[in-house]
Amino acid sequence: MSSDKSKKEKHHHSQHSTNAEPARSTDQPQSPEPRRTEAADRVAYAEFKVLLRPEELRRLQRAYELWQHVHAAAQQLQVPFVPVAGEPLIRQRDIVFYDTPDFRLYENHFILRRRTQYQDGWTRMHDELTFKFRHPEEAVVAGIDVHPGLSLQARVKFKREILPEPDRVGGIRYIYAKNCVLAMPPLAEQFLAETALEFFPVLETIGVDHSTLLALVNRVTVSESLTEFGTLAFGHGLEAMVGLALWRHSESGTPIVGELGFQLKFEALTPAVEAGIVRAEEFFKLAQHCIAPWMFLGTTKTNLVYSHGGHAVSNRE
């Protein structure tokens, strides 16, 4: 499992059969023992993300062409931009998602994701494990406790995610996410749900059978390439590094989706901060019009992995 420093992890490699009943959707699971802190219950990030057609990003030159259009939107709105010094670096990491055979986590708005970072071609000692609850209603997300049940050092982040509308260019919609990030030794490709329940007790509220196996969703491992263009400044102390990611199937190399994004961090949603976010939203809407031929509407990166191979999921995010 994943994020900042770890203590101990228990791995169960038993091949038990699954007895899980059909997945049931509960819009607002209740954590049996709230362990939240005040900081974890208020939005402290605004993350802007737009998905891109992967066929438009097969060549690095196309990524730079895309950025020229985004930069034009920044210039039009007089949003200051400072490019990264020198040639932008390209980072690599692998990403997988874990779930039960009936996708009980995702159908109840939970996501369990592992990222493996690479440095000079070598994997780092620890992976990043992120457990999150994502839902369109801020109050519902605020009521969920994603803290680990074990004594582990974790970062909990409450985010407002700003996405394009699903059916048109130039709009915005919000979804909210509360993330728990851990730094852990690498996980096996499958493990008993009992282990996940020890780490994240809130999963008890959605009826996960302890003997069920959690395994890689659709056996998909994503190879992610990331690069950063520079920093945008929206006033009121709000700055964000804007970057581009491309997801590919690790085995075939087939592109899945691209994403252009940036994230603002703040201590509280004061009127000044909200004013800066509104400015960022105006830039985000204009940038969509500038890159409309590149855009991929109506889904999320996670949803694409879950629906891979024609699998039906009711959670459309």
Model confidence pLDDT, tens digit, residues 137-187: 999 999 999 999 887 789 999 999 999 999 999 999 999 999 999 998 888
pLDDT classification of 30: cutoffs 50, 70, 90: very low
pLDDT classification of 283: cutoffs 50, 70, 90: very high
Does 266 map to a domain?
Answer: yes
Give pLDDT, residue 236: 92
Average model confidence (pLDDT) across the chain: 87
Contact partners, residue 211, CB within 8 Å, separation at least 6: 16, 17, 18, 19, 192, 193, 194
Average pLDDT value for residue range 99-103:
96
Does 8 map to a domain?
Answer: no
Average pLDDT value for residue range 225-231:
94
Model confidence pLDDT, tens digit, residues 176-199: 999 999 998 888 899 999 999 999
Give pLDDT, residue 38: 58
> CA-to-CA distance for 222 and 226, rounded, in angstroms?
13
Q: In whole angstroms, how far apart are CA 244 and each of 30, 66, 281?
A: 36, 10, 18
Does 13 map to a domain?
Answer: no
Give pLDDT, residue 37: 52
> CA-to-CA distance for 229 and 23, rounded, in angstroms?
42
Does 24 map to a domain?
Answer: no
Q: In whole angstroms, how far apart are CA 168 and each of 73, 157, 173, 285, 316?
A: 18, 29, 11, 11, 16
Does 185 map to a domain?
Answer: yes
> CA-to-CA distance for 205 and 207, rounded, in angstroms?
6
> CA-to-CA distance for 33 and 179, rounded, in angstroms?
18
Q: In whole angstroms, how far apart are CA 195 and each of 24, 149, 283?
A: 21, 11, 43
Strands 155-163 and 222-233, by their bridges, are: unpaired
For the chain, give the percent of residues with pLDDT over 90. Answer: 71
Does 9 map to a domain?
Answer: no
Q: Which domain holds residue 98?
A: 39-310
Question: Within 43-146, where are the H helices?
Answer: 60-76, 104-107, 138-142
Q: In whole angstroms, how far apart are CA 276 and each of 79, 160, 237, 280, 285?
A: 11, 14, 8, 6, 14
Does 246 map to a domain?
Answer: yes
The terminus-to-terminus CA distance of the chain in angstroms comes to 23
Q: For the domain that residue 242 is a member of, what is the CATH number?
A: 2.40.320.10
* Domain count for the chain: 1
